[in-house]
Amino acid sequence: MTKTAIVLAGGLGTRLRGIIGDLPKPMADINGRPFLQYLLEYLSRQGLERCVLSVGYRRDAIMGYFGERFGGIDLVYCVEDEPLGTGGAITKALSYVDDQEVFALNGDTLFLADLPGLYELYRCHNCAFAMALKPMRDFDRYGVVVVDDEHRVVGFQEKRARGFGLINGGVYVMNTQVFDGLDLQENFSIEKDFLERYYQTKRFCGFEFDAYFIDIGVAQDYERAKAELA
């Protein structure tokens, strides 16, 4: 299994600005510790040894706090001078990855999926790209990923009120050459411009993990994270 992850930690946290001030979103305080610390501790428990942090806005706050090693993980920083979108940020960070495969995660989400298990499924199903899917009930904030009986992604559905669905948990494993030869801009979205555009021609898979999930993108869930991660 690859021991390297890319974490997207360049978020501005616009919707949390009144709560966290000018800090980057992954540095939002959760009970005296930045949210990103919970994520790095999770990666360490999953057996990862190296993390490429994609940073941009107020990167000094992240780099000054975590340094070059934290919680048993070596940290490397990939700096976005201009916002590149989730896809562009991953693409740039790949230049810091020596492995053939790599995990990638959102820095404002904590989804405690089984990374070795996800990697094994990715290899067994011969995927070019695989994502961990979170089963969700009674929600309207997220779109839904549709997979067939062999776990291949066969569609995406827009946000609306639902009783149940599988959402993209923001945890991926991929071949480091997965973007090669595709018609992608320097600034692009991993969700809209890559997954939703190429799922019919490339083998993208989604695997369900009913594990803890929190996304601190809005104030209500930020407050929930403080209660649940205490």
The tens digit of pLDDT for each residue in 130-142 reads: 999 999 999 999 9
Taking each helix axis from N to C end, the angle separating 59-66 and 35-45, rounded to the nearest 10 degrees, works out to 50
In DSSP notation, 131-186 reads EEEEEEEEE-SS-EEEE-TT-BEEEEE----EEEEEEEEEEEEEETTTTTT----S
Average pLDDT for the chain: 95
Note the pLDDT of residue 218.
Answer: 86
On the question of pLDDT at 36 being above 90, the answer is yes
pLDDT (mean) for 175-195: 97
* Entry field: residues in the chain: 230
Note the pLDDT of residue 13.
Answer: 64
On the question of pLDDT at 209 being above 90, the answer is yes
Note the pLDDT of residue 115.
Answer: 98
Note the pLDDT of residue 16.
Answer: 76
Choosing among 3.40.50.970, 3.90.550.10, 3.40.50.720, 3.30.70.1380, the CATH entry for 4-228 is 3.90.550.10
pLDDT (mean) for 148-173: 98
Bridge partner list, 33: 30
On the question of pLDDT at 213 being above 80, the answer is yes
On the question of pLDDT at 25 being above 70, the answer is yes
**Model pTM?**
0.97
pLDDT (mean) for 86-94: 98
On the question of pLDDT at 18 being above 80, the answer is no
